[in-house]
Amino acid sequence: MSAQGASLRSKQEIMERLSKPEVITGSEILLRSLVLEGAECVFGYPGGAVLYIYDAMHGFSDFNHLLTRHEQGAIHAADGYARASGKVGVCIATSGPGATNLVTGIATAFMDSVPLVVITGNVVQSAIGTDAFQEADIIGITMPITKHSYLVRDAAELPRVIHEAFHIANTGRKGPVLIDIPKDVSAATTLFQPVNEVSIRGYNPTVQPNMKQVDKMIKAIVEAERPVILAGGGVVYSGGHEGLLEFVTKTEIPVTTTLLGLGAFPSGHELWMGMPGMHGTFTANKAIQAADLLINIGARFDDRVTMKLQGFAPHAKIVHIDIDPAEIGKNVPTDIPIVGDIKTVLELVNKSAKRADKADAWREQVQQWKNDVPLSYVDSDTELKPQWVIEMIHETTKGEAIVTTDVGQHQMWAAQYYRFNQPRSWITSGGLGTMGFGFPSAIGAQMAQPDRTVVSINGDGGMQMCAQELAICSINNIPVKVAIINNQVLGMVRQWQEIIYDNRYSHIDLAGSPDFVKLAEAYGVKAFRASNKEEARTAWEAALQHDGPAVVEFVVRKGENVYPMVTQGNTIDEMILGDA
C-alpha cells in the first residue's frame, strides 16, 4: 500500500474510532467533534474555565494543539491557518481575560471574512451573571463581530453546535463563530452521538445567481468600450481564481485586484494593472476613473479602494458580484447586482462570455499607462531602501512564498513590490488593519502549509506586539522567516503627519525598541541584521537556507514614504506620485 493510501486508511480508522457512540464528558465530545470536522491544528491557551477541556487533551493525539504565548497570538495564528489552507481555523481560550484577549482577532477575521471557530470557556452556569471570578459576557461583547454565537447549556448539544458552527463559518460569506462552554458543561457526562446533518432555519446562503442578471452583465461587456474588472478577496475565498483567469482570457478585460484580492489573478499577466485605491497603482486608479463598465467580483468597495465616494468611477455602469447581498449597493450604487458564490457565478458566466471587441483602444491606453507610470522609487547604493528589500525577497523566493504582513508602510510596500501568482499566498489584515497580526498569522500559515516557504514581513512597531510567539517557533522548530523593516518609527503615521499634518510629528518615535537580533536569540531563534544591500542579500540567503525559524532585521531609512498616495477627501485619480 502507498504512503498516501496508508494515511487515508489511518484517517478513516481514526474517524471510525471517534464516531463510536459512548458516554463521555463534554470536553471529550468537543475534542472528538473537532477532529470529525477536520480540525488538524488547534491554537490555544489554557485557564481555569477550560481545564476540563485541557485535561481531556492529555494524551490526545488526534489533532495538534499549539500552545501560544498570548491569546491574541492564538487567534491570529488560527486566522493565518484558515487563510492559507481554506479550512476553518480553531482556537481555544479561557473565560474572562482569556476570552477578551481574542476580541481583536475575532474582529480581524470578521472584517476579512475568515472562517474561524472560536471556543471559550465560561464560569459554571449557576454563576453566570454574578460577576464571578474571570467572568465576562463574551457573547455580548463579540455580538457585532461574529457571524453567529452559541452558549452551550447541555453537553448533549455539543455535537450539533460544533457541526453547525463549522458549517456557518465556512459557507456563505465566511466568518468567525463563537462557542462559549460553561465549565459544568465541559465536565458533564452524556451519550456522544455524532451529528452529520445540518439544518438551520433562516440560514440558506444564495449560491446560484439569477441568470437574467448574468445575461445583463454579458450584454454590458459586449457594449463596453472601457471595461475594468475589480477582483477582491471573495475570489480567493470561493476558489474562483481559475474561473477569473478564464473570464479574463475570454473577455480580455483589464484587471485590478484589491489588497485582499492579491493572488486571485497572476501578477505577471499582461492585463493585470496592480492594486487600486489609496496606495494603488497609477494605472489601476486611472482605469477605474475612466471606465464605462466596472465589474466588481467579490470586493466590498472598501473606503481605501474608493476614497472619495462621490467621485468614484463616475462614468461606469457598476456590476457587483458577491455572496453577501448586504454588500451590494451598500457603498456604491449598483446597476447590475448578482448575488451568488463567486466560483459558481464565474463558471456560469464563462459559458457565454465573449471578447470585449469594442475595447481595443482601451487596452492600448491601459498598456500605455503601465509603461509610462510604473511603480517606482529612488534607489540608493548607500542606504537600504524598503522597496528594494521587498523586491529582493520576491526574487529570492521566486514569488512562490506565502507572505504575511503586519500593518503599515511595510504592508503597502509588500503589496506593491511582491508579485503573487497563486491564491492563498498573501495574508494580511485588510479591513481592521490589526497591528500584531503579521507574525502569529505566519505561524498558522506554516502549520497549514508545512512544505511552503512562509515569510512574515513586519514593521518594528507591529513586531513588538506579538514578538512573544518567537518562543513557539523556537520550541516547535516552525521555520517561518521573519523580515523586520526597521525604520525606528511608526512609519505610516509619520507619513500622514508629514503630508497631511504639516510635519507635526507626534509620538511616533520607536527609538527605544529592542535589539531585534538579541531578542530573537533570547528565544533561541537564528537572527541577522542588515543595513546595506550586500549585508541584506547575505543575511536573507542565510535565513532562507536555515532549516528553522530565522529573523532578519533590515535597517532602512526613516523618512521613506509609500507612493502613490491618495489623501482623504480626494478621488483615486488625484494621486501624489512621489519623488520618482
Q: Is the dihedral of CA 233, 295, 350, 358 positive or negative?
A: negative
* Residues 6+ positions from 506 with CB-CB distance below 8 Å: 497
**For residue 17, which amino acid is it?**
R
| Of the options 3.90.1150.10, 3.40.50.1000, 3.40.50.970, 3.30.2350.10, the CATH number for the domain spanning 11-192 | 3.40.50.970
Please return the burial class of 130, using the count of CB atoms within 10 Å of its CB with bins 0-12, 13-18 and 19+.
Answer: exposed
Measure the CA–CA gap between 119 and 91, rounded to whole angstroms: 6
For the chain, how big is the Rg over CA atoms in Å?
A: 24
**For residue 285, which amino acid is it?**
N
Catalytic residue, candidates 15, 40, 63, 134: 134
CATH number belonging to domain 211-372: 3.40.50.1220
The pLDDT value recorded for residue 580 is: 66
Catalytic residue, candidates 183, 317, 343, 481: 183
Q: What is the pTM of this model?
A: 0.96
DSSP letter string, 27-53: HHHHHHHHHHTT--EEEEE--GGGHHH
C-alpha pair distances (Å), 180 with each of 149, 154, 477: 8, 12, 32
Locate 89 and state its grid cell. 481555523
DSSP letter string, 64-84: EEEE-SSHHHHHHHHHHHHHH
Whether CATH 3.40.50.970 fits 386-562: yes
Q: 23 - beta bridge partners?
A: 191
Q: Are 250 and 350 in contact (CB under 8 A)?
A: yes
* Low-confidence residues of the chain: pLDDT under 70: 1-9, 580
The pLDDT value recorded for residue 113 is: 98
Locate 40 and state its grid cell. 488538524
Catalytic residue, candidates 307, 463, 465, 492: 492
492 is catalytic: yes
Measure the CA–CA gap between 420 and 426, rounded to whole angstroms: 8
Q: Are 558 and 531 in contact (CB under 8 A)?
A: no
Q: Are 148 and 205 in contact (CB under 8 A)?
A: no
Domain coordinates of the chain in residue numbers?
11-192, 211-372, 386-562
How many angstroms from the chain centroid is the CA of residue 123? 32
The pLDDT value recorded for residue 403 is: 98
133 is catalytic: yes
Residue 286: closest CA among 577, 579, 578: 577
The pLDDT value recorded for residue 562 is: 97
**Half-sphere exposure (Cβ direction) of 268: Cα atoms closer than 13 Å:** 7
**Same CATH fold, 386-562 and 11-192?**
yes
Assign 3-class secondary structure to 152-211: CCCHHHHHHHHHHHHHHHCCCCCCEEEEEEEHHHHHCEEEECCCCCCCCCCCCCCCCCCH
183 is catalytic: yes
Give residue-wise pLDDT tens across range 41-61: 999 999 999 999 999 999 998
CA angle 84, 85, 86 (to 5 degrees): 105
Catalytic residue, candidates 71, 157, 469, 560: 71
Pairing of strands 526-530, 550-555: parallel
